Structure 1
Amino acid sequence: MVAQSDASVGLKRVMVLAFCVAGIWSAYITQGVLQETLSTKRFGPEAKRFEHLAFLNFAQNVVCFIWSYIMIKLWSSKSTGSAPLWKFCGVSITNTIGPTMGIEALKYISYPAQVLAKSSKMIPVMLMGTILYGVKYTIPEYICSFLVAGGVSTFALLKTSSKTMKKLANPNAPLGYTLCFLNLAFDGYTNSTQDLIKSRYPKTSPWDIMLGMNFWGSIYNAVIMFIVPLLFSNWPYANGFEAVNFCRAHPEAAWDILVYCLCGAVGQNFIFLTISRFGSLTNTTITTTRKFMSIVVSSVVSGNPLSAKQWGSVVMVFSGLSLQILLKWKRKKA
């Protein structure tokens, strides 16, 4: 009877894990396809591009704010020990700037290149740890960073296919990669500050964080995209009014943006579920494999052919990431 009970619990755990994997993969791979579509597709008989990619970040903030508010009302409650809303005011600035840079990079580099560049988060972390704090890493950890850095650098130096280049709005690899690495820098600050808030207010739930970050993010993006253009007629950056007018003229783009935002909100819920049931290391493993699959989907489905050397660079990066995950699993067991 006990054996049957243990087997039943084990089967249920495997099914929940499979559910989490399917949820994260389907949500974020679909979101990646839509992100690439919105950055490269030409809409309508005029064959116009959607030039306002920063609008995606604003739309994502609004949808995720509404989503987290509903989740809190349905499944949680604002406990007395959770972080107050104003605590997220400052960190939401970097959370607004960073993802916007990552999205804007798609005007200059391909989606596979963006995914690879954003997968190299360990490199700035190790550099900052070594230079600023004198942290000493193990040889296997340096091998991980070497594989990732080497793979990203090689991919960046290799020639991109003409078919992929034609899809880009303004091909400019140095600018695109710079935006991605700035995105990583801002994300590093954002994540560490969120961890600090969580440590000071232990009763803060993931939905509380999601609510606070997206509340302020919605305000900041609304100011940048709708108020500043009214004050400065020659505002050269994101213009929310132009983005809304484009969506009115091309409902297909509006639908893609809505689904893109819903995928982000749903994906966040699956990440919360994975971390709560299986831990952050399992979540890292799932999201890393998802990034690799996103590149495969982009190459096969979205028509971004990669050369054999480029695939070698991709394998090199994910070999480094896989080794890093393996080292973490070994430390966890120890």
Structure 2
Amino acid sequence: MEAHGAGLSRVLVLAFCVAGIWSAYIYQGVLQETLSTKRFGPDGKRFEHLSFLNLAQNVVCLVWSYIMIKMWSRSSGGAPWWTYWSAGITNTIGPAMGIEALKYISYPAQVLAKSSKMIPVMLMGTLVYGIRYTIPEYICTFLVAGGVSMFALLKTSSKTISKLAHPNAPLGYGLCFLNLTFDGFTNATQDSIKARYPKTSAWDIMLGMNLWGTIYNLIYMFGWPHGIGYEAINFSKQHPEVAWDIFLYCLCGAVGQNFIFLTISRFGSLANTTITTTRKFVSIVISSLLSGNPLSTKQWGCVAMVFSGLSYQIYLKWRKLQRMQKKRKSM
């Protein structure tokens, strides 16, 4: 009975994590698309300062992580705050490129392109480190790269184009893939910090990353008298609806990170990857429905192709994990 109760408890916690991650990031995606395409006020102006979202989210997540550390963390001996400076740079530039890409491509296209994280990782691994990958890994990459490429080649509807400020698909996809490259460096640096300072908690990493992100973005946004930050604040004052959407966007990011950390700590990174991957697919569906611009049959075929590759990748990771656990038991 106790084992059954514990199993039910784990299922409920997992369901709670899934609901939290999906709700936070799907709604954040809706807000992100709204901020990038909607026209505000009687003058019909668009919010052109999308990079301001990164600074706002850094500040909210910095405050949130500090509160969480004071409330829950009892550990000490984590990584010093200054060790995050290099990862903070790439973590600042990368998301900014991803958000700027929304000026040139639709939100579903951005989600698909950012799902292709394995492509630059495998490319860098082969060219720089001489890593050899298996045939199934190449199949995954082919499915994802092929799906994204065909999605990019298919004509975007005139309704979507009219919502974008400067439609330029090659630039938009280029920004997405640069975002992925910087993300790869950020993740590698975080892993290195965690290895050097094993007592570092998820909250410590969140605090360090957002501290440096806040510093860099403050310099970039307000480093000169007529910086982007001043323009974004003035726009928000003139259109309070924008300020509310920005706050909700940041709050969704902070809540989503909490559920991600909970998932990783309770169920491991593989479970988190599965949840976030399926969440991306649901985001595309919801975005398509809410925008009143449904994807064509061919575009849905591309979406299915991408997520088939991602699902196969998750299965390969799961199978590898199972083999490792069997070896440990035999030892």
Query: 3-state SS of the aligned residue for 1:90?
Result: helix
> Which residue identity is paired with 1:12?
S
Equivalent of residue 167 in structure 2, options 165, 171, 186:
171
CA shift digits 1:4-55 (9 cap, x unpaired): 1111011000000000000000000000000000000000000000000000
Aligned counterparts, 1:77-92, within 5 A: 77=74, 79=76, 81-92=77-88
Q: Is 1:67 matched with 2:64?
A: yes
Residue 161 of structure 1, CA deviation: 1.0
Is the CA contact 2:54–2:96 (under 8 Å) kept in the aligned structure 1?
A: yes
Q: Is 1:33 matched with 2:38?
A: no
Q: Is 1:226 matched with 2:222?
A: yes
> Which residue identity is paired with 1:19?
F
Aligned counterparts, 1:145-164, within 5 A: 145-164=141-160
Identity among equivalent positions (%) equals 76
* C-alpha separation in 2, matches of 1:23 and 1:82: 27
Equivalent of residue 212 in structure 1, options 187, 208, 232:
208
> Which residue identity is paired with 1:178?
G
Residue 258 of structure 1, CA deviation: 0.2
CA shift digits 1:220-274 (9 cap, x unpaired): 10111112x32xx5xxxx6000000111111111000000000000000000000
Residue 78 of structure 1, CA deviation: 5.8
Q: Is 1:252 matched with 2:241?
A: yes
> Which residue identity is paired with 1:321?
L
Q: Which moved more, 1:301-310 or 1:91-100?
A: 301-310
> Which residue identity is paired with 2:260?
I
Query: 3-state SS of the aligned residue for 2:231?
Result: helix
* C-alpha separation in 2, matches of 1:201 and 1:266: 26
Q: Compute the RMSD of aligned alpha carbons.
A: 0.9
* C-alpha separation in 2, matches of 1:214 and 1:302: 32
Residue 302 of structure 1, CA deviation: 2.4
> Which residue identity is paired with 1:88?
Y
* C-alpha separation in 2, matches of 1:138 and 1:23: 35
> Which residue identity is paired with 1:214?
N
* C-alpha separation in 2, matches of 1:132 and 1:89: 24
CA shift digits 1:164-204 (9 cap, x unpaired): 11111110001000100000000000110010001000011
* C-alpha separation in 2, matches of 1:10 and 1:101: 42
Equivalent of residue 308 in structure 2, options 295, 319, 322:
319
> Which residue identity is paired with 1:51?
E
Query: 3-state SS of the aligned residue for 2:211?
Result: helix
Match in the other structure for 2:298: 309
* C-alpha separation in 2, matches of 1:126 and 1:257: 35
Equivalent of residue 121 in structure 1, options 113, 117, 122:
117
Is the CA contact 2:75–2:199 (under 8 Å) kept in the aligned structure 1?
A: no
* C-alpha separation in 2, matches of 1:132 and 1:56: 34
Match in the other structure for 2:39: 42
Question: What runs of 5+ residues in structure 1 fail to find an aligned partner?
Answer: none
Match in the other structure for 1:53: 50
> Which residue identity is paired with 2:3?
D
* C-alpha separation in 2, matches of 1:188 and 1:129: 11
Aligned length: 323
Is the CA contact 2:39–2:47 (under 8 Å) kept in the aligned structure 1?
A: yes
Is the CA contact 2:98–2:175 (under 8 Å) kept in the aligned structure 1?
A: yes
Question: What runs of 5+ residues in structure 2 fail to find an aligned partner?
Answer: 324-331
Is the CA contact 2:61–2:207 (under 8 Å) kept in the aligned structure 1?
A: yes
* C-alpha separation in 2, matches of 1:111 and 1:49: 16
Aligned counterparts, 1:186-201, within 5 A: 186-201=182-197
Residue 331 of structure 1, CA deviation: 0.9
Match in the other structure for 2:134: 138
Q: Is 1:101 matched with 2:97?
A: yes
* C-alpha separation in 1, matches of 2:229 and 2:164: 22
Query: 3-state SS of the aligned residue for 2:156?
Result: coil
TM-score with structure 1 setting the length: 0.95
Residue 304 of structure 1, CA deviation: 3.1
* C-alpha separation in 1, matches of 2:283 and 2:230: 31
* C-alpha separation in 2, matches of 1:6 and 1:272: 25
* C-alpha separation in 1, matches of 2:183 and 2:74: 28
Is the CA contact 1:123–1:145 (under 8 Å) kept in the aligned structure 2?
A: yes
Is the CA contact 1:161–1:305 (under 8 Å) kept in the aligned structure 2?
A: no
> Which residue identity is paired with 1:250?
H
Residue 108 of structure 1, CA deviation: 0.4
Match in the other structure for 2:327: none
